[in-house]
Amino acid sequence: MNNYIQILIEIIIVFTLVFLLNYFLFVRKNKKLKKDDMPLELFYLANIYNIDPKKINFRMFQYTYSIINSFIITTTYMLVIYLIKSMIIKVIVGIVILILLIIICYGLLGKYYSYQQLKYNDKKNSKK
* Cα–Cα distance measured from residue 68 to residue 66, given in angstroms and rounded to the nearest whole number: 5
Question: Is 35 a domain residue?
Answer: yes
* Cα–Cα distance measured from residue 114 to residue 54, given in angstroms and rounded to the nearest whole number: 13
- 94 touches 80 (CB < 8 A): yes
pLDDT of residue 60 exceeding 90: no
Question: Is 16 a domain residue?
Answer: yes
**49, burial (CB in 10 Å: exposed 0-12, middle 13-18, buried 19+):** middle
Question: Is 99 a domain residue?
Answer: yes
Q: What is the pLDDT, as a whole number, of residue 32?
A: 58
Query: In which domain, by residue range, is 66 found?
Result: 2-121
Q: What is the pLDDT, as a whole number, of residue 40?
A: 79
Question: Is 24 a domain residue?
Answer: yes
Whole-structure pTM value? 0.84
Question: What is the tally of structural domains in the chain?
Answer: 1
Residue 95 banded pLDDT, cuts 50, 70, 90: very high
Angle between helices 2-22 and 58-83 (to 10 degrees): 140
Question: Is 46 a domain residue?
Answer: yes
Question: Is 128 a domain residue?
Answer: no
* Cα–Cα distance measured from residue 50 to residue 67, given in angstroms and rounded to the nearest whole number: 22
Q: Name the least confident of 28-32, 78-82, 112-116.
A: 28-32
Region 99-125: mean pLDDT is 87
Question: Is 49 a domain residue?
Answer: yes
Region 96-103: mean pLDDT is 96
Mean pLDDT value across the chain: 87
Q: What is the pLDDT, as a whole number, of residue 72?
A: 96
Question: Is 126 a domain residue?
Answer: no
